[in-house]
Amino acid sequence: SLLLLVSLSSVLRADTNDAAIRAIHFADAKEGWAVGDEGVIWHTIDAGKTWERQNSGTKASLRGVQFLNPYTGFAVARMELPNLKTAGMVLSTSDGGLTWKILSAGSLPGLNGIKFFDEKNGIVYGDGSDGSPTGIFRTVDG
């Protein structure tokens, strides 16, 4: 909603490490996450009135985020490499974002979005590759 974006914008302007936000996802009416450039992850438990920063463990541009419930979540990133190439990164959390684990880094091209159906089955999408020109990649093992 507009109120949510205005609230998030005011929090970000106050932070000296301001970075563009690329995606927002809410697990329920009050709890949500916003991700963006420089590896930023913001978390709210009051429908966006206040936001706290979470440590992603990366400086990559986080482009997509999804939570299956308030504890289990995934994020994808895009890293720009020399020669106009990109690399992707997939992160996960099982504690609501208190800690993030890098599941995959560099084995996929740059990623822009994510959709998990349960903890094991999902897709990520981004740049195409020789082996997958559509840029859509599937996992059945999380």
List pLDDT tens digits, range 64-109. 999 999 999 999 999 988 887 899 999 999 999 999 999 999 899 9
Predicted model pTM: 0.84
| pLDDT at residue number 29 | 94
Tell me the Cα Rg of the chain: 15
Taken in order 37, 117, 71, 120, the sign of the CA dihedral is negative
Q: What is the mean pLDDT of residues 113-119?
A: 95
Q: What is the mean pLDDT of residues 35-62?
A: 96
Q: How much of the chain exceeds pLDDT 90, in percent?
A: 74
Distance separating the N- and C-terminal Cα atoms of the chain: 31
Distance in angstroms (rounded) separating the CA atoms of residues 130 and 42: 34
State the pLDDT at residue 17. Answer: 57
pLDDT-above-70 percentage for the chain: 88
pLDDT at residue 87, as a whole number: 92
